Amino acid sequence: MRTHIPFGLFLALLALATPAAALEPTAPIPAAHEELGRSLDELIGQLHDLGGRWREHFAPSPRGERPLITLMLRYKDELGLSADQVQSLERLRADFQREAIRRDADLRIAVMDLAALLEKDPVDLGPVEAKLREVERLRVDLRLARIRAIEQGKSQLTAEQRAKLRTLLAEPEHGWPRPRRGAALTPRADRLFSF
């Protein structure tokens, strides 16, 4: 009987609380599908960014975007690089990687700021234009810094070493397809292979 009394009290309290709760107005709850939709959009955006970074890191880049300093170091024996040349190339690569990380962070922040500006309704075109120009300037600066580092790396090589590197990079077993037999290099390819 003692167990029936607490259970009975619980049921009585529940019965008294139910009508009071039913009379209180309920606050509107956002629809679950709207919240889920927003969360999925954010997740898709993050996955897209991650996929882009993954491709940039692991995918072979176009001919003009090859990691030449890394390739120079990979073929140091074939090129006959001296210890000083290897040290200089490693320093150039490390310096560029540090600079690229900083510039990439600045670029990501600017892209986030641009996205925030675009979410406003109505969009204020003045600040959007300024932020968009900043984003593109940061991209150009990053790419120019990379080209500058590559040119400094190529200047570390002798004429013979540059010729040997050009030959190595043209061989298919080194990851870069060779032009078809008898086919002349396009003007763009000639420019890319000229160190």
* 195 has a pLDDT exceeding 60: no
* Average of per-residue pLDDT across 42-51: 70
3-class DSSP assignment, residue 171: coil
pLDDT tens string 27-38: 566 566 666 667
DSSP 173: G
Residue pair 92/153 in contact by the 8 Å Cβ criterion: yes
- Go through the domains of the chain in sequence order and give each one's CATH number: 64-176 (1.20.120.1490)
Cβ-based burial of 114 (10 A; exposed 0-12, middle 13-18, buried ≥19): middle
What pTM value is reported for the model? 0.55
pLDDT at 29: 60
CA distance 179 to 172: 10
CA distance 172 to 65: 17
* Average of per-residue pLDDT across 46-63: 57
Lowest mean pLDDT among 36-45, 86-95, 184-193: 184-193
pLDDT tens string 114-160: 999 999 989 899 999 999 999 999 999 999 999 999 999 999 999 99
Least Cα distance to 45 among 34, 33, 53, 57 occurs for 53
Across all residues in the chain, what is the average pLDDT? 76
pLDDT band at 172 (very low <50, low <70, confident <90, very high): confident
